[in-house]
Structure 1
Amino acid sequence: MIEVRNIHKTFGENHVLKGISTLFEPGKTNLIIGQSGSGKTVFLKSLLGLHQPDEGEILYSNRVYSEMSEDLKRNLRQEMGMVFQGSALFDSMTVVENVMFPLKMFSSMSESEMKDRADLVLKRVNLKDAHHRLPAEISGGMQKRVAIARAIVNKPKYLFCDEPNSGLDPKTAIVIDNLIHEITVEYDITTVINTHDMNSVMEIGEKIVFLKDGHKAWEGSNKEIFKTDNEAVTNFVYSSELFKKVRQMYLEERN
Structure 2
Amino acid sequence: MIEVQDIRKSFDGEEILKGISTVFPKGQTNLIIGQSGAGKTVFLKCLLGLFRPDTGKILYDGEPYSSFSDEEQRELRRQMGMVFQGGALFDSMTVEENVMFPLRMFTKQSRPTMMKRVKEVLDRVNLAEGQHKKYPVEISGGMQKRVAIARAIVNRPKYLFCDEPNSGLDPQTATVIDNLILEITREYDITTVINTHDMNSVLEIGEKIVFLQNGRLEWEGDKKVIFKTENEAVTEFVYSSDLFRKVRKAQLQGL
TM-score of the superposed pair, with normalisation by structure 1? 0.98
Partner Cα distance (1:82, 1:108) in 2: 21
Q: Which residue in the other structure is 1:206 paired with?
A: 207
Q: Deviations over 1:73-100 (max 9, x none)?
A: 0000000000000101110100000000
Q: Which residue in the other structure is 1:63 paired with?
A: 63
Q: 1:226·1:250 contact (CA, 8 Å) conserved in 2? A: no
Partner Cα distance (2:179, 2:192) in 1: 13
- The letter for the 1-side match of 2:194 is I
- The letter for the 2-side match of 1:88 is A
SS at match of 1:226: coil
Q: Which residue in the other structure is 1:192 paired with?
A: 193
Partner Cα distance (1:200, 1:242) in 2: 11
Displaced runs of 4+ in structure 1, greater than 4 A?
none
Q: Which residue in the other structure is 2:103 paired with?
A: 103
Q: 1:83·1:160 contact (CA, 8 Å) conserved in 2? A: yes
Q: 1:38·1:211 contact (CA, 8 Å) conserved in 2? A: yes
SS at match of 1:175: helix
Q: Which residue in the other structure is 2:30 paired with?
A: 30
What aligned pairs does 1:176-191 form with structure 2 within 5 A after superposition? Answer: 176-191=177-192
Q: Which residue in the other structure is 2:125 paired with?
A: 125
Q: 2:199·2:243 contact (CA, 8 Å) conserved in 1? A: no
Change (3 A) 1:12 1:93: same
Q: Which residue in the other structure is 1:219 paired with?
A: 220
Partner Cα distance (2:211, 2:85) in 1: 19
Query: Over the residues paired in the alignment, what is the CA RMSD in angstroms?
Result: 0.9
Partner Cα distance (1:13, 1:252) in 2: 50
Q: 2:30·2:208 contact (CA, 8 Å) conserved in 1? A: yes
1:252 is displaced (CA, Å) by: 4.8
Aligned length: 254
1:251 is displaced (CA, Å) by: 4.1
Partner Cα distance (2:245, 2:156) in 1: 40
1:249 is displaced (CA, Å) by: 2.9
Partner Cα distance (2:213, 2:2) in 1: 21
1:233 is displaced (CA, Å) by: 0.3
Q: Percent identity?
A: 69
SS at match of 1:90: coil
Q: Is residue 46 of structure 1 aligned with residue 42 of structure 2?
A: no
